[in-house]
Structure 1
Amino acid sequence: MKKIIIIGSGFSSIASSCYLAQQGHKVEIFEKNDTIGGRARQYKKDGFTFDIGPTWYWMPDVFERFFADFGKKPSDYYQLLKLSPAYQVYFGEEDKITIGDTLEKIYTEFDRIEPGSSQKLKKFIDQAKDNYDIAIKDLVYRPGESPLELVTLETAKKLGQFFSTIAREVRKEFKNKKLVQVLEFPVLFLGAKPSDTPAFYNFMNFADFGLGTWHPKGGMYQVILGIQRLAESLGVKFNTHQNVEKILVENKTATGIIANGTEHQADIVLSGADYHHSETLLDQPYRQYSESFWEKKTFAPSSLLFYVGFDKKLKNVEHHSLFFDVDFEKHAHAIYDVSEWPEDPLFYASFPSKTDENSAPEGKEAGIFLIPLAPGIKDEQALRERYFEKIITRFEKITQQKIKKNIIFKKSFCVNDFIKEYNSYKGNAYGLANTLLQTAFLRPKLKSKKVKGLYFTGQLTVPGPGVPPALISGKLVSDLIKKYE
């Protein structure tokens, strides 16, 4: 049995804590904030409840596989509701696409937009499912130690898809601009432009259309609390208000941490905090990656978020609503190519109280608005206000209702908050993008090359951004600790 200290309490950290405790280790988590969950925390005000971070529950099979490793099911910890429709995409007034909760409904909707397109979509989804089975049931559960992990009989057949892009493959089959945007949307969860994301990642389309969009009753934070209960039942100890200031190293071996000025000894240190930040907790000789290494990497976007309480129910919107009424390419260019505020931003809005009475007092609505932004961008209160005004004005026009006067309160969260709350590199929201040169073994390593007994987990390492990959990252790193320690 070894004493293991884990830095941070996001999905990767708490998932790994369960596996490591199951292996028989004594595991303690140190979290700098007052509540656990990392980016997946909660904000409560005046009877309203908001998920601060992730709001989409995709890939339910990954959560099932995680809990099954402990002889449990998600339903032992939280109740899942399948959203119907999954989400809606608005292109303007009276111009929207509804993504239903079954493939049949989605095929019908595609045919409504472009007659005959459902046949192409069926073929596309079949291929996406095939890739999903290869990727999610096998490839992503490999620790990124060697390029050979990607070489299997199945991937050999798909080699061309690693060198083509989502954008190219989608546009080969679909000519309607709206359908193209709907098919490219899930890739944004991987943190890169569709034109920079390998075509193999179209498995996200199967995750979207084939497996559906779900909502844990009480919000995504219920998943965090469920995993915490599992971890505590296995003996994991949680410490909040504990800011880790240093990772201690002796003879090139991790020996513990300093948190709030106090030393804590450990046999193994695992950081689920931002990878770049975690390395700054080490003395220079023990850091694996230079500042210029991080500078050259393609980071997933940051976000400007608003948590808004409304004093009435809103019309003409679904639980998840995407507003694509402006130029997608221009917004992507602002994020990925020039790092500036987009003139006319696409945005996403979520109204959990459409599904979940726990989210808002009776007769009221909880709204979350998100604008994707370039990481490292200038963040000022005046800019936040200007952009809120932009999106709310468009929201009113598109959904044909006045809501500005119905706002009880609003709280914003942007680049500066991501840095302050999560020590996030340049204030990124989703980690390191999954481009071809940042896939699998090309991502920062789970195991330190310079310090024995030091490991990393989370969205800047393997397998990548998103909640399901974060759970998988926790499993991968615990398997490596079992292998090497």
Structure 2
Amino acid sequence: MKKSIAIIGSGFSALSASCYLAKEGYKVTIFEKNSSIGGRARQLKKDGFTFDIGPTWYWMPDVFERFFNDFNKKPSDYYELEKLNPAYSVYFDKDDYITIEDTLEKIYLAFEKEEPGSSKKLKKFIDNAQNNYEVAIKDLVYRPGVSPLELVTPVTIKKIHQFLSTIKRDVRKEFKNNRLAQILEFPVLFLGAKPSNTPSFYSFMNYADFGIGTFHPKKGMYQVVLAMEKLAKSLGVDIKTENPIDKIIVDKGKATGIISKGKTYNADIVLSGADYHHSETLLSKENRQYSEKYWSKKTFAPSSLLFYVGFNKKLKNVNHHTLFFDVDFEAHAQDIYDTPKWPENPLFYASFPSITDENSAPDGKEAGIFLIPLAPGIEDTEALRTLYFNKIIDRFEDLTSQEVKDSIIFKESFCVNDFIKDYNSYKGNAYGMANTLMQTAFLRPNLKSNKVENLYFTGQLTVPGPGVPPALISGKLVADLIKKHQV
């Protein structure tokens, strides 16, 4: 008789795990608290506009390919992928920006134009980043974080200095031009920590950025969710939406099921892809691995203030992805990580998917997504949201030399309180636990409970870490672990 598995949540890691487990013959049921699947990667549709609520960057296409290949499928069986050119632009002042295009050769030229001689340094930097990418994405991130020895290989021993140095130190040592340095420091923000706290080894993110490039699935990132849902269902996975979990049932030290909306569902194994901290609150205290003190001491990735805006005209002087680095990065970073508070002058990011994808907005109109990184756990009110929207729109108009306020049809916002309400996110964090040196690999929360038998976890608070590609990998890692321990 097939063993049954109850999976809590339907984000990328949970969907990934469900596919691998169903393929192995387990009877898999997913329980999702919201009315639609995808976890943070949901959609907002309004007045003919379509927005990705969560992730908007498609990086590391090889990880997606590897996932689908494991089921004798490929991404193109489900969605159409387009490489963006330009990948993104970075504003530093009014009408003053650097554009990152779609090949290394073009990026070398952009660096050389900004600072003569910098392209040679960049080539050396990217060569090392590519080597790190080969080591990390082809090997290390596919290890389950069970033992420190997983990190000890002939290659990593040679690279030990790259775990002890930081991205910021290495970048600033070679690149004196602050604008170029900031562009090279930008990708590690996806890991949820400051460049000054991120090990140099994570430069593989720079290769993902410059060497592989930025892509866009036609009709948005939600197409990946729909693809995984289709695959999961074809493998026999049952998905129940609007089923929040009240409790994880533990009997004699063993997980035996869950209670959802007052109804008991028995299962041989329970796997939570929900927020790890929240998942443990579904257990009695004696069955929790980590205390509130443990979580409070961890470095969490930022939360975000997001706006989804419909414009009644096409915008100019922006690309699909556009970053606004016209203010002090260090001051904003301090307001996130060191002395948590609302930033005086925030950096922000904007995405205009309708520049690339006609499905995102009605003809002649523009869909805009604006994101301000924030410290998790800070106060969140409508008044603050309005204040900060006006701050960034004023700057946006000035930097891009256009008026847009009168062209706004609507705006919807999403912030700390929503991350908590919709995703049970610890302190309203947006990306999980940061990948600092002391929160890497085996130093992250465990995939397998050490207190409760047959209870497992997956997602951005465990290994390998934040981001969509790592979430796919996390699902595979926990499925492999379950298979190993259940044999």
Q: Which residue of 1 aligns with 2:421?
A: 420
1:68-147 mapped onto 2 (5 Å cutoff): 68-147=69-148
2-side partners of 1:211 and 1:300: how far apart? 24
The residue number in structure 1 matching 2:260 is 259
Residue of structure 1 in register with 2:467 after alignment: 466
- The answer to whether structure 1 residue 304 and structure 2 residue 300 are counterparts is no
Q: In structure 2, give the amino acid aligned to 1:436.
A: L
Residue 286 (1) aligns with residue 277 (2): no
2:460 and 2:409 map into 1 onto residues whose CA distance is 35
SS at match of 2:313: coil
**CA deviation profile, 1:65-110 (whole Å, cap 9, x unmatched):** 0000000000001000000000000001121110000000000000
Q: List aligned pairs for 1:122-201, cutoff 5 A.
A: 122-201=123-202
CA distance in 1, matches of 2:72, 2:143: 22
Aligned AA (2:456):
Y
AA in 1 matched with 2:448: K
Q: Deviations over 1:340-387 (max 9, x none)?
A: 000000000000000000000000000000000000011010000000
Q: Secondary structure at the match of 1:229?
A: helix
Determine the structure 1 residue equivalent to 2:328.
327
Percent of aligned pairs with the same residue? 74
In structure 1, distance between residues paired with 2:95 and 2:58:
28
State whether structure 2 residue 362 is matched by structure 1 residue 361.
yes
Shift of 1:284: 0.8
C-alpha distance in 1, partners of 2:262/2:43? Answer: 28
Matching residue of 2:36: 35
Aligned partner of 1:46: which letter? D
Match of 2:210 in 1: 209
SS in 2 for 1:49: strand
Which residue of the partner structure matches residue 51 of structure 2? Answer: 50
Stretches of structure 2 that go unaligned for 5 or more consecutive residues are none
How far apart are the structure 2 equivalents of 1:2 and 1:183? 47
TM-score, normalising length from structure 2? 0.99
Structure 2 match to 1:249: 250
Q: What SS class does the counterpart of residue 89 from structure 1 fall into?
A: strand
CA distance in 2 between counterparts of 1:70 and 1:336 reads 40
Q: Which residue of 2 aligns with 1:237?
A: 238
Moved beyond 3 Å, runs of 4+: none
SS at match of 2:168: helix
Residues 144-172 of structure 1: CA distance to partner in whole angstroms, max 9, x if unpaired? 00000000011011000000000000011
CA distance in 2, matches of 1:14, 1:2: 18
What residue is the counterpart of 2:318 in the other structure? 317
What is the distance in 2 between the residues matched to 1:435 and 1:367?
31
| Aligned-residue offset at 1:173 | 0.6
CA contact (8 A) 2:95 2:401 kept: no
Which letter maps to 2:470?
A: P
Tell me whether 1:66 sits opposite 2:60 in the alignment. no
Q: How far apart are 1:453 and its partner, in Å?
A: 0.5
d(CA) in 2 for partners of 1:245, 1:129: 45
Q: Distance in 2 between matches of 1:153 and 1:98?
A: 38
Using the TM superposition, give the Cα deviation of residue 116 of structure 1 relative to its aligned residue in structure 2, in angstroms: 1.0
Give, in whole Å, the separation in 2 of the partners of 1:89 and 1:450. 47
* 1:441-479 deviation per Cα after TM superposition (whole angstroms, max 9, x unaligned): 000000000101000000000000000000000000000
Q: CA deviation at 1:438?
A: 0.1
- In the TM superposition, what whole-angstrom CA distance separates every residue of 1:253-279 from its partner, at most 9, and x where no partner exists? 000000011000000000000000000
Partner Cα separation in structure 2 for residue 123 and residue 155 of structure 1: 19
Aligned amino acid, residue 353 of structure 2: P
Q: Give the structure 2 partner of residue 478 of structure 1.
A: 479
AA paired with 1:162? F
Please name the residue that 1:21 is paired with.
Answer: 22
